[in-house]
Amino acid sequence: MGVRELENRFVTTLRNCPKIAELKKIHAHIVKLSLSQSNFLVTKMLDLCDNLSHVDYATMIFQQLENPNVFSYNAIIRTYTHNHKHPLAITVFNQMLTTKSASPDKFTFPFVIKSCAGLLCRRLGQQVHAHVCKFGPKTHAITENALIDMYTKCGDMSGAYQVYEEMTERDAVSWNSLISGHVRLGQMKSAREVFDEMPCRTIVSWTTMINGYARGGCYADALGIFREMQVVGIEPDEISVISVLPACAQLGALEVGKWIHKYSEKSGFLKNAGVFNALVEMYAKCGCIDEAWGLFNQMIEKDVISWSTMIGGLANHGKGYAAIRVFEDMQKAGVTPNGVTFVGVLSACAHAGLWNEGLRYFDVMRVDYHLEPQIEHYGCLVDLLGRSGQVEQALDTILKMPMQPDSRTWNSLLSSCRIHHNLEIAVVAMEQLLKLEPEESGNYVLLANIYAKLDKWEGVSNVRKLIRSKRIKKTPGCSLIEVNNLVQEFVSGDDSKPFSQEVFWILKGLTLHQIRTKDFIEFVEDAGQFYSKFI
């Protein structure tokens, strides 16, 4: 039997190899038949190691090869890149550049560039880019797209645009990489400009924009672009659903969230734990804790995110004891809690007034689970102690924190001082808040309220003078309401909304009880019909 025939027979066997143990047996036969130096077979074995995620065995196979060709080099670089061994991929690439047996080709560069992106090393990426100009083809969309992705991930949008401008053929991947780059840098205006110019948008384009708006706190924009996506006929996938649900949660867009729940059931998305977790969080934040609890109990396999979300939701609804019971169930289930879990547990203890238990769980986090408390945990501890009246201990906790306390921590202490009428510590907290956020009107109002409750009107007057001298403006109150699956925001003093005068008239009438029920219903129906046409 000839060498080529033997190689082909081994390739067929390798193609059907399911486990690393089987590969080792096949490899032994290859060595026994003196075919271990066959670049053809080595490449196939490296590809199999890549699929099975056995990097160490791939390294051993490659190192035994005396004269690897370009296919073997590409296979080992690809294996390292896919398995996030980026430094090894770069090392082999450098080795390839010094050998005479192989030179990089268009299949080498995309994976090397991806490893540069994985290392977030722009300088290294620029060097590889230079080799692309030297060895690579003049135009190769996959390599050019990899370069754009690398530059955007390294925060170099000018480098990404330079590659983009030089491309002869741009595809959706090119556009999406630019959008992702702007989103990663929080440049949503620029991302939207690229998105609007895009000739053919994919589900990735829409999802990237939704995710970017949601992460940046522009929840109404995230919901708006989700609706745009549906209007143009793009069906949401699991990732877009997971991206938009936090926006529904933050805006209280319950009806949209319920629609997504039904759509996810119909589309089979509930097999995805991420979708399940996002729905639980949405229901909890929209005030539907019973629905969140029911959905949580439907989950067959609950991960740490599932448990943490449910614990946090119960805590935020003031169900501290229930949250602690869920935490105990989590421990019985053998799921290891993380830092987010303990934020929920400590918050639950604060809401339930269980300050002794809160202190114990704080120690459990450090001692039993070896989790170093972050500023969020110290903030919960300060809130816990402050709510229970241990204001002095709360201040002592802040002063002993291993990190610099933030404004939220001091604000929590100030709020506790208002509840327990502790002016001395309130002044200490306010001094720190003046340094951290001198323009925040709410802090001044809190301090003024403390003076007022203690009948120290001179202090109230001094705070008001301070507000006027600093020309601080109170942040206007706002409220959100969902109508016909659209979330409308109403800001105090803003009369730019349609029917503002009519709304004020209704509110005034309701307040003074001067509108007869029949007239009120007729007016609301007429206004509602006109308004529905407007939106």
Q: What is the 3-state secondary structure (H, E, C) of 273-341?
A: HHHHHHHHHHHHHCCCHHHHHHHHHHCCCCCHHHHHHHHHHHHHCCCHHHHHHHHHHHHHCCCCCCHHH
| Tens-place pLDDT, residues 10-19 | 888 888 888 9
Long-range contact set of residues 259-262: C-beta below 8 Å, sequence gap at least 24? 259/485, 260/236
Per-residue model confidence (pLDDT) at position 108: 95
Mean of the pLDDT values across residues 344-363? 92
Give the pLDDT of residue 535.
38
Count of positions (residues) in the chain: 535
User: 373-475 maps to which CATH number?
Assistant: 1.25.40.10
For the chain, the domains span 373-475, 478-534
Instruction: Mark 149-166 as b/e (b = at least 16 C-beta within 10 Å).
Output: bbbbbbebbebbbebbee
Rounded CA-CA distance 172/204 in Å is: 9
pTM summary value = 0.78
pLDDT for position 338:
96
Between 295-304, 436-445, 453-462, 466-475, the lowest mean confidence (pLDDT) is in 466-475
- Contacts of residues 225-228 at CB distance under 8 Å and 24 or more positions apart, as own/partner, are 226/256, 227/485
Spell out the residues 6+ positions from residue 254 whose beta carbon is closer than 8 angstroms to its own.
Answer: 248, 286, 287, 288, 482
pLDDT higher than 70, residue 512: no
Cross-strand bridge partners of residue 479: 490
Using one digit for the tens of pLDDT, what is the confidence trace for 268-317?
999 999 999 999 999 999 999 999 999 999 998 999 999 999 999 999 99
